Structure 1
Amino acid sequence: MTFDIKEIMEIIPHRQPMLLVDRVEVIEEDKKAVGYKGVTYNEPFFAGHFPQEPVMPGVLIMEAMAQTTAVLLLNKEEMRGKVGYFGSMNKVRFRKKVVPGSLLRMEVEILKQRGPVAVSYGKAYTEEGLAAEGEMTFMIG
């Protein structure tokens, strides 16, 4: 099942400039998804991070993975209207820069879910290889 940007905005509350995922493919229901973000020169954060050498902030790479996870968690009808709030990030590592013109590909997997708490692990890739990875905890409310 694949969600385009319009469908994503029906599932999660994020809007521009904080919507950081363009498409999500659910690979395994309730378990795995792949999200995509075309990183353009027009991203507002590039104006200040850094003007001489634009680099996507690591925290926004993690946010893009979190949004991909939120689509995976909240795409069911009974979850509509709920929000996945970030609880924590653990074991986060940044490996390569994400620059304008990159296609960010985010692979996320739910490690465990109990009630309103879910833990996932994500990896973000560009054409250059693994850019970032880390564990994310969410509270669904």
Structure 2
Amino acid sequence: MDDEPEGSAFNCKQCAAERSTVSRRKRGTGEQRRSPVPGLRQRYGIGQRDFDEMLARQGGMCAICGADDPQHVDHDHRTGWVRGILCFNCNGGLGRFRDDPVFLAGAIAYLKGTTWQRVLIHPGVFQMCSPTRGHPPSRSS
């Protein structure tokens, strides 16, 4: 036992497979096994019926982009309140921007091209300017 690194466990494939089989039998065929979104009650405090009703109110589409068959429950990480059902990409996108409206507004401005703009400084010569940053990009970029 002294040879084992702290916090790890060594299992042969057969023992791991047996433990997995026992675990599956214990879980049975409850709500988690039938639900397209496992762990709804434990993670978000809603059941499959709540999920289905919310999705129906959204017309069966992602609340942001309108993609068909969204499967991700979006919730406010500070309060835990469920906001809607999203597709994988929209849910991940909100998470990457840490649910921060300021970051999302910055991304929108960036996509609209308002951060860097070409300005004609001489016939046929343009300079890149940014109203938000105040200086053009370096020559090495």
Pair member with larger Rg: 2
Higher relative contact order (CA 8 A, sep 6+): 1
> Same fold by TM-score, threshold 0.5 exceeded?
no
Q: Which has the higher strand share?
A: 1
